[in-house]
């Protein structure tokens, strides 16, 4: 069997959101070879910046393409806007064989016909008005400077059948498919056409894409069949919904990958969450890209829509942080946090981060608390130590001086000398030392705080301040 080649074929008209990131991920997981093609024929909406961004996003996620821009010479082959010559050959072929014809209907005329059909309760499809123009009619219209589109002549009373790898056998009757545009009036290639031609010419064996494309597939099969080009297999992936059941959009929680990266999500968290949206994995552990790939199976794709839930993403983020390599977390912390951490404390601090922080901003807060003199205490965090009283803190300072860095000895001593226990013992200490009641175990805080800083914080609650 030939090698499985998949592709991701984004139109660079915006940032990559979770929906298309999942399509890209599934394609990368399934393919033995993974291709990236930029579908930038819509010149008005495509932007070079979006192309740069989407390549950066894919790389950030760890979806490295084997073929595509920047991996091959000439790289232009993977941009549809630069493949006009290739498409022209096939347009010519179709026109010569009268399998496609120029259509001079204006957008206004088409819209009127569409409305009339809808009003009559019929599905809107092209009436076939230009399908029977003679050579003379055509020549005359061209002479008048009219700019036609090119329509594919759909064979009548023909059944298109294919086996979708997710949805099973699909049967379409061409009576339900109107002749469709394969070249726009400005000469650019239309989606149905160039998308299918390129899959065939680029040797793509499996097309994984959103099931909003399901009804496009019979059209694309018709084109490939008349041109005797190879047909890929199709797997149409169920839609991604928001937690309110509506299609995932910005309004119900979709985010661009760029946004997720800026919020501090780790790519491994994002791919673990996405890989399980509509695809079942046995394991509930964080899996590497390679492990996700090994266990990916088209048979595990669900037909019903998947729901995105931010709580799942947060869960995978916590797991990814908990299990990440040391170096990954150091990078993730960012330079502003790294400079706060003394070298000899780095590993201990990272350990704290793993079990207490989900985002770099939280880690930054803890780095400030533990390794800088900056400490903000709310009124409540001042009230609690004050209520414990000056003597408690005088005992604490004594105990700390006797047992620097040794929490068990310190707390044993303080318990004895102050008589406090439980909440009465721990809350004033936490509030005094960190300005909060939550966070890492107090033993770890004690061990990480510089003894002088620790003493200064305790001393703030003795009067007058030492
Ligand atoms: N450029 C198309 C899109 O972004 C590709 C669809 C497909 O994967 O075939 O929707």
97 alpha carbon – ligand 1 mean position (Å): 28
CA of 27 to the centre of ligand 1 (A): 12
Ligand 1: centre distance to CA 81 (Å): 15
Structural domain harbouring 464: 375-466
Mutate to test the pocket of ligand 1, among 39, 79, 220 (most ligand atoms within 8 A of CB): 39
CA atoms within 13 A on the CB side of 319: 17
Last-in-domain residue among 213, 237, 261: 237
Distance 39 CA to ligand 1 centre (A): 8
Task: Quote the pTM value.
Answer: 0.92
- Residue in 11, 166, 221, 234 to alter for ligand 1 test, most ligand atoms within 8 A of Cβ: 11
The atom of ligand 1 lying closest to the CA of 23 is 8
Please indicate, yes or no, if residue 261 is contained in any of the structural domains: no
Residue 50 domain-assigned (yes or no):
no
Q: How many domains does the chain have?
A: 2
Q: What is the CATH number of the domain that holds 96?
A: 3.40.50.620
Residues with CB under 6 A from ligand 1: 9-11, 39, 195, 207, 209, 213
pLDDT digit of tens for each residue in the chain (466 aa)? 689 999 999 999 999 999 999 999 999 999 999 999 999 999 899 999 999 999 999 999 999 999 999 987 777 799 999 999 999 999 999 999 999 999 999 999 999 999 999 999 998 999 999 999 999 999 999 999 999 999 999 999 899 999 999 999 999 999 999 999 999 999 999 999 999 999 999 999 999 999 999 999 999 999 999 999 999 999 999 999 998 888 888 888 888 999 999 999 999 999 999 999 999 999 999 999 999 999 999 999 999 999 999 999 999 999 999 999 999 999 999 999 999 999 999 999 999 999 999 999 999 999 999 999 999 999 999 999 999 999 999 999 999 999 999 999 999 999 999 999 999 999 999 999 999 999 999 999 999 999 999 999 999 999 764 4
Look at residue 134 and tell me if it is in a domain: yes
**What is the distance in A from the centroid of ligand 1 to the CA of 297?**
22
Closest atom, ligand 1, to C-alpha of 212: 10
Instruction: Give the residues across from 87 on adjacent strands.
Output: none
Å from CA of 457 to ligand 1 middle: 59
Query: Which of 203, 237, 271 is a domain's end point?
Result: 237
Is there a contact between 336 and 364 (Cβ–Cβ < 8 Å)?
Answer: yes
CB 152 within 8 A of CB 219: yes
Integer CA distances (angstroms), 372 to 243, 332, 345, in order? 41, 20, 13
Domain holding 435: CATH number? 1.10.10.350
CA of 82 to the centre of ligand 1 (A): 17
Q: Is residue 161 part of a domain?
A: yes
Exposed / middle / buried, residue 197 (Cβ in 10 Å: 0-12, 13-18, 19+)? buried
Q: What's the confidence (pLDDT) of residue 464?
A: 66
Residue finishing a domain among 237, 266, 291: 237
Which residue's alpha carbon is at the smallest distance from atom 5 of ligand 1? Answer: 9
The atom number, within ligand 1, closest to the CA of 39 reads 1
Nearest CA to ligand 1 atom 8: 209
Residue 210 alpha carbon, nearest atom of ligand 1 = 8
How far is CA 143 from its chain centroid? 49
Is 188 part of any domain? Answer: yes
**438 assigned to some structural domain:** yes
Residue 96 falls within a domain, yes or no?
A: yes
* CA of residue 153 to ligand 1 center, whole Å: 23
Domain assignment present for residue 19? The answer is: no
State the pLDDT at residue 1. Answer: 62
At residue 252, the pLDDT reads: 84
Give, to the nearest 10 degrees, the angle between helix 360-371 and helix 346-356.
130
Atom of ligand 1 at shortest range from CA of 208: 8
């Amino acid at each position: 069997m030939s090698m499985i080649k998949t592709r991701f074929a984004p139109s660079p008209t915006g940032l990559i959101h979770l929906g298309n990131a999942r399509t890209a991920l599934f394609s990368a997981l399934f393919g033995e070879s993974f291709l990236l093609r930029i579908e930038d024929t819509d010149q008005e909406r495509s932007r070079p910046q979006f192309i740069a961004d989407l390549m950066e996003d894919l790389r950030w996620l760890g979806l490295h393409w084997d073929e595509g821009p920047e991996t091959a010479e000439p790289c232009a082959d993977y941009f549809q806007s630069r493949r006009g010559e290739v498409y022209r050959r096939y347009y010519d072929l179709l026109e010569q064989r009268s399998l496609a014809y120029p259509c001079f209907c204006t957008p206004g005329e088409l819209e009127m016909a569409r409305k009339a059909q809808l009003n009559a309760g019929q599905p809107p499809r092209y009436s076939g008005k230009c399908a029977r123009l003679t050579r003379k009619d055509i020549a005359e219209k061209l002479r008048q400077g009219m700019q036609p589109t090119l329509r594919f002549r759909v064979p009548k009373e023909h059944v298109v059948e294919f086996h979708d790898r997710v949805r099973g056998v699909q049967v379409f009757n061409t009576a339900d498919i109107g002749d469709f545009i394969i070249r726009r009036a400005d000469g650019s290639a239309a989606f149905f056409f160039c998308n299918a031609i390129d899959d065939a010419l680029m040797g793509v064996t499996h097309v994984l894409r959103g099931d909003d494309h399901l009804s496009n597939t019979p059209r694309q099969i018709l084109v490939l069949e008349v041109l005797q080009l190879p047909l890929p297999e199709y797997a149409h992936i169920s839609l991604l919904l928001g937690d309110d059941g509506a299609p995932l959009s910005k309004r119900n929680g979709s985010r661009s990958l760029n946004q997720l990266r800026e919020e501090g999500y780790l790519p491994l968290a994002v791919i673990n969450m996405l890989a399980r949206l509509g695809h079942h994995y046995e394991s509930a552990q964080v899996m590497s890209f390679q492990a996700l790939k090994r266990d990916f199976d088209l048979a595990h794709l669900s037909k019903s829509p998947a729901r995105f839930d931010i709580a799942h993403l947060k869960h995978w983020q916590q797991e990814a942080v908990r299990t990440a390599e040391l170096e990954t977390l150091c990078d993730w912390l960012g330079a502003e946090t790294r400079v706060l951490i003394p070298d000899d404390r780095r590993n201990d601090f990272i350990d704290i981060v793993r079990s207490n922080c989900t985002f770099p901003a939280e880690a930054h807060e803890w780095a400030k608390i533990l390794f800088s003199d900056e400490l903000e205490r709310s009124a409540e965090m001042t009230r609690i130590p004050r209520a414990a009283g000056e003597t408690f803190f005088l005992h604490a300072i004594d105990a700390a001086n006797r047992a620097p860095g040794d929490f068990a000895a310190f707390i044993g001593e303080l318990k004895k000398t102050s008589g406090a226990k439980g909440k009465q013992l721990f809350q004033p200490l936490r509030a005094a030392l960190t300005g909060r009641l939550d966070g890492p175990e107090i033993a770890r805080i004690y061990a990480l705080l510089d003894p002088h800083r620790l003493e200064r914080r305790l001393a703030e609650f003795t009067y007058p301040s030492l």
